[in-house]
Amino acid sequence: MDCSCSRFFKIYGYDFLLGTIAAFYVITVPCTKVEESFNVQAMHDILYHWHHLDNYDHLDFPGVVPRTFIGAFLVSIFASPIILVMSMLHFPKIYGLIAVRLALGCIILYTLRFFRIQQVRNKFGLQVEAFFVILTALQFHLLFYCTRPLPNILALGIVNLAYGFWLKGNFYAALNCLIFATVIFRCDMVLLLFPLGLELLLTKSISLWKALKCCLGIAVLSIGLTILVDSVMWKKLVWPEFEVLWFNSVLNRSSEWGTHSFHWYFTSALPRSLLAAYPLCILGLFLDRRVLPFIIPVFSFVLLYSKLPHKELRFIISSVPIFNLSAAVAASRIYINRKKAFWKLLSIILLGFLFISLGCTAISFMASFENYPSGYAIKYLHQIGDRTNITEEQWVHIDSFSAMNGISRFCENDFPWRYSKEESIPLKEFHKRNFTYLINEHSFVDGYKCLFIVDGFSRVSPQMSFPPILLIKEPKVYVHGNIKNKDLMNKKWPGCSSGFDR
pLDDT, the chain, mean? 90
* Strand spans (E) along 47-182: none
- Pairwise CA distance, residues 325 & 478, whole Å: 45
Give the pairing of strands 437-440 and 394-398.
parallel
Tell me: pLDDT of 502 over 60: no
Tell me: pLDDT of 388 over 70: no
Q: What is the mean pLDDT of residues 129-144?
A: 96
CA distances from 438 to 31, 395, 434, 441, 478 (A): 19, 9, 10, 10, 8
- Pairwise CA distance, residues 78 & 185, whole Å: 18
Per-residue pLDDT band at 145 (split at 50, 70, 90): very high
Per cent of the chain over pLDDT 70 is 95
Tell me: pLDDT of 151 over 80: yes
- Pairwise CA distance, residues 236 & 228, whole Å: 10
Per-residue pLDDT band at 34 (split at 50, 70, 90): confident
- H/E element, 449: strand 448-462
Span 462-472, pLDDT tens digits:
777 777 788 88
- pLDDT given at position 501: 57
Q: What is the mean pLDDT of residues 132-155?
A: 96
Per cent of the chain over pLDDT 90 is 64
- Pairwise CA distance, residues 279 & 300, whole Å: 18
Q: Return the half-sphere exposure (C-beta side, CA atoms, 13 A cut-off) of residue 90.
A: 2
Per-residue pLDDT band at 424 (split at 50, 70, 90): confident
Closest CA to 424 of 397, 404, 406: 397
- pLDDT given at position 144: 96
Q: Which of 50-54, 269-273, 438-442 has the lowest mean pLDDT?
A: 50-54
- pLDDT given at position 45: 94
Tell me: pLDDT of 13 over 80: yes
Q: What is the mean pLDDT of residues 27-49?
A: 93
Q: What is the mean pLDDT of residues 201-226?
A: 92
CA distances from 76 to 107, 269, 275 (A): 12, 31, 33
- pLDDT given at position 387: 65
Tell me: pLDDT of 76 over 90: yes
Tell me: pLDDT of 487 over 90: no
Per-residue pLDDT band at 257 (split at 50, 70, 90): low
- pLDDT given at position 154: 95
CA distances from 449 to 397, 439, 488, 489 (A): 14, 12, 10, 8
- pLDDT given at position 260: 83
Tell me: pLDDT of 188 over 70: yes
Q: What is the mean pLDDT of residues 97-112?
A: 96
